[in-house]
Amino acid sequence: MNAIAVYEGADKPVVTEKPRPEPSAGEALVRTLRVGVDGTDHEVIAGGHGATPAGDDHLVLGHEAVGVVEDPNDTPFEVGDVVVPTVRRPPNGANEYFARGEPDMAPDGQYHERGIVGAHGFMAEYFTSPAEFLVEIPPALAEWGFLVEPISIAEKAIEHAYASRSAFNWDPESALVLGNGSLGLLTVATLDEDFERIYCLGRRERPDPTIDIIESLGATYVNSNDTAIPDVPEAYEPADFVFEATGYAPHAFETIEALAPNGVGALLGVPGDWEFEIDGGRLHRELVLHNKALVGSVNSGYSHFEAAVESLAALSEAFLGDLVTGVYGLDDFEAAFADDDTTIKTAVEFAAYEER
Amino acid sequence: MNAIAVYEGADKPVVTEKPRPEPSAGEALVRTLRVGVDGTDHEVIAGGHGATPAGDDHLVLGHEAVGVVEDPNDTPFEVGDVVVPTVRRPPNGANEYFARGEPDMAPDGQYHERGIVGAHGFMAEYFTSPAEFLVEIPPALAEWGFLVEPISIAEKAIEHAYASRSAFNWDPESALVLGNGSLGLLTVATLDEDFERIYCLGRRERPDPTIDIIESLGATYVNSNDTAIPDVPEAYEPADFVFEATGYAPHAFETIEALAPNGVGALLGVPGDWEFEIDGGRLHRELVLHNKALVGSVNSGYSHFEAAVESLAALSEAFLGDLVTGVYGLDDFEAAFADDDTTIKTAVEFAAYEER
């Protein structure tokens, strides 16, 4: 079968031939429909993140997949079920984090991530997975199912941020999403029902398709070239909730200044080392005197995928159509890895969904 | 009656004569037993924190009080009840935070703090308080009741930190308390039942009475002159929970490096402005990839005082005797404001408790 992989030392993905996988006991065989591309894929390709499976010279890419069960192989699934796989797998049998359904809380060394670190991804015509790591979704969502994984990332971060405010009565009204990439835009859309006012910060100038999407969602675009994050409270309003999806390290600390009293910032970016100066005294004092919190969040678990399916079902086709700027077949899969100002979200299509 | 106050422009507290307060409707009159002294009092005296009540040229000190109801004045209390007052009061009638019993979550301008900002404190022979701000404690705890307020500060911070970890299965084993002042020591004692291993960091050299207390509690002293906070994980172990009670701003950020994966740091210090360099990229990445959180916490509410009464009752007399290095009458109240290496926790005594 065909797969899209990046070889060690290479800086571009290629189509490669791999044997079609055979499901082991407890695993189903899934025919891949679509696999999304995100910033993590670009980091993996650039060699800044992730690792090939032990003993292999390449990594099959892809962690945002949707597919159709081809062979249930004695799992509870039926042929034709539309499924989305979760990403983390236990490296050596199970461990406590997987045993309690919280692989997203496993520390370094206690997980592989398919398509990212230590395990091949889903960018292939078929993949196998233990049934416990497959989330069934409604067939009507098959076309957009590759968005379940990125939405699940937001769901987990939001859940953890809300948990941090659960010791008191918290009634957030305003949210500030840092980053107008695909995760930022999906988060703006996902938060839409919970917040009266949503702001989304980016560094693009008009005209720009991401700004159009932000405004079509009823949110306000904040141009970081005009308004630095610490100035957002005065220029717009303090945010009860900040969702950082930029990976730009100063933003993690500026978040403290953008927050309203009793607010929380969810941090999701993964920057490299970078030393810079902060007014640490002011930020420390601000965290304490106004009961603010910062919550880091990585990956997502089964329950977050389930929540993401609900959220995806609530998103409009118009928004999804604007967000997904391209779905490409194997013939022009390179286009799915473009990283320019007209590309927002892309996917590689391995097969079209056909209802049975 | 006699009161201990600091006058505007002065840098020392004095005994001053004030009229005995008359309880208004809904208020009880309380005869003061003891009032503790802490770092906030020192900051208020130094002029770095707090404000006198509008129209007054002085502030009666004291926010850590215990007293006996002298006149219930139609409140549910009875003469002789031993009570501890909470600290915050609504500035102009009630507001939403006080209405729902969460004055500790009120932002600037929505609260006064007795003995700190905008309202006279409890360092006087009598004080009045609305009954809803008085917490009854067992008479057996009358002697140590002035410790309920500082313990309540720890209870709130611990509650909020735990809440931030409530979205997953968190089973913390190791705690690191930053600061061996009275709040740090009370926290070590309070955490004792919940953690298998507790570390307490300070910058004192042996022999030192606070180190003796830390070790008598079964905790491990970490000398910050030998081991910087980022080195604690390697020199000792990473901490599931960090409790910052130093007000030293770099500690707020170093906390991220001391935490174990999925750990949380509660921040309580209130430093002044201070610019310094951090490896913000590494800290941001560490927060995210290991699901870490920082939670700022200030003040405490009624429920935290109630929890503190329980915690106080569980502390040993031996520990309390070591912690409280002096209780002074009005004749030598200045000694209660000493700030040297032999002073840990002090109180001013206005009256001895007599069982009725």
CATH number at residue A13: 3.90.180.10
CB of B171 within 8 Å of any CB in chain A?
A: no
Residues B64 and B105 in one domain: yes
Helices (H), chain B: 39-46, 96-99, 148-164, 182-191, 209-216, 232-235, 249-258, 280-289, 302-314, 317-323
How many Å apart are CA A350 and CA A333, to the nearest integer?
10
Residues A177 and A127 in one domain: no
Enumerate the β-bridge partners of residue A88: A113
Residues B74 and B193 in one domain: no
Residues B77 and B122 in one domain: yes
CB burial of residue B265 (10 Å; 0-12, 13-18, 19+) = buried
Nearest-CA residue of chain A relative to B270? Answer: A285
Residue A256 contacts residue A194 (beta carbons within 8 Å): no
pLDDT of amino acid A236: 98
Nearest-CA residue of chain B relative to A290? Answer: B107
Judged against a pLDDT cut of 80, whether residue A5 lies above it is answered with yes
Average confidence (pLDDT) over A267-285? 97
Percent of chain B past pLDDT 90, that is, above it, reads 96
Q: Which of B153, B288, B303 to mutate to test the interface with A (most CBs of A within 10 A)?
A: B288
| Unique residue bearing structure tokens 């640490």 | A280
Residue among A264, A311, A258, A43 nearest A157 (CA) = A264
Q: Is residue A130 part of a domain?
A: yes
Question: Cβ contacts (< 8 Å) between A167 and chain B: which residues?
Answer: 159-160, 162-163
CB of B167 within 8 Å of any CB in chain A?
A: yes
Residues B214 and B281 in one domain: yes
**CB–CB of A281 and B297 under 8 A?**
no
Interface of B with A in 24-53 (CB under 8 A): none
CB of B290 within 8 Å of any CB in chain A?
A: yes
**CB–CB of A104 and B273 under 8 A?**
no
- pLDDT tens digit string along A236-254? 999 999 999 999 999 999 9
Judged against a pLDDT cut of 90, whether residue A47 lies above it is answered with no
**CB–CB of B293 and A293 under 8 A?**
yes
pLDDT of amino acid A162: 98
Q: Is residue A173 part of a domain?
A: yes
Residues A291 and A327 in one domain: no
Q: Is residue B194 part of a domain?
A: yes
Residues B88 and B157 in one domain: no
Residues A200 and A249 in one domain: yes
- pLDDT tens digit string along A25-45? 999 999 999 999 999 999 999
Question: Cβ contacts (< 8 Å) between A284 and chain B: which residues?
Answer: 249, 252-253, 267, 269-271
**CB–CB of B164 and A159 under 8 A?**
no
DSSP characters over A40-89: HHHHHHHTSS-BPPTT-SEEE--SEEEEEEEE-TTSS--TT-EEEE-SEE
How many Å apart are CA B136 and CA B131, to the nearest integer?
10
Q: Is residue B200 part of a domain?
A: yes
Q: Is residue B144 part of a domain?
A: no
- pLDDT tens digit string along B136-183? 999 999 999 999 999 999 999 999 999 999 999 999 999 999 999 999
**CB–CB of B108 and A289 under 8 A?**
yes
Residues A287 and A331 in one domain: no
Q: Is residue A354 part of a domain?
A: no
- pLDDT tens digit string along A118-163? 999 999 999 999 999 999 999 999 999 999 999 999 999 999 999 9
pLDDT in tens, chain B (356 residues): 999 999 999 999 999 999 999 999 999 999 999 999 999 999 999 987 889 999 999 999 999 999 999 999 999 999 999 999 999 999 988 899 999 999 999 999 999 999 999 999 999 999 999 999 999 999 999 999 999 999 999 999 999 999 999 999 999 999 999 999 999 999 999 998 899 999 999 999 999 999 999 999 999 999 999 999 999 999 999 999 999 999 999 999 999 999 999 999 999 999 999 999 999 999 999 999 999 999 999 999 999 999 999 999 999 999 999 999 999 999 999 999 999 999 999 999 999 999 87
CB of A259 within 8 Å of any CB in chain B?
A: no
CB of B268 within 8 Å of any CB in chain A?
A: yes
Residues A98 and A173 in one domain: no
Q: Is residue A141 part of a domain?
A: no
CB of B104 within 8 Å of any CB in chain A?
A: yes
Cα angle: A320, vertex A325, A326; to 5 degrees: 115
Residues 6+ away with beta carbon under 8 Å from B251: B178, B229, B244, B269
| Closest-CA distance of chain A to residue B26, Å | 26
**CB–CB of A296 and B286 under 8 A?**
yes
pLDDT of amino acid B249: 98
How far is CA B306 from its chain centroid? 14
CB of A262 within 8 Å of any CB in chain B?
A: yes
How many Å apart are CA B287 and CA A290, to the nearest integer?
20
Residue among A210, A260, A264, A201 nearest A228 (CA) = A201
The CATH number covering residue B205 comes to 3.40.50.720
How many Å apart are CA B255 and CA B257, to the nearest integer?
5
Residues B210 and B171 in one domain: yes
**CB–CB of A160 and B104 under 8 A?**
no
**CB–CB of A169 and B100 under 8 A?**
yes
- Give the domain extent around A320: 2-136+316-349
Residues A170 and A271 in one domain: yes
CB of A171 within 8 Å of any CB in chain B?
A: no
- pLDDT tens digit string along A193-249? 899 999 999 999 999 999 999 999 999 999 999 999 999 999 999 999 999 999 999
pLDDT of amino acid A92: 87
Q: Is residue A308 part of a domain?
A: no
CB of A290 within 8 Å of any CB in chain B?
A: yes
Judged against a pLDDT cut of 90, whether residue A50 lies above it is answered with no
Q: How many domains does chain A have?
A: 2
How many Å apart are CA B117 and CA B48, to the nearest integer?
11
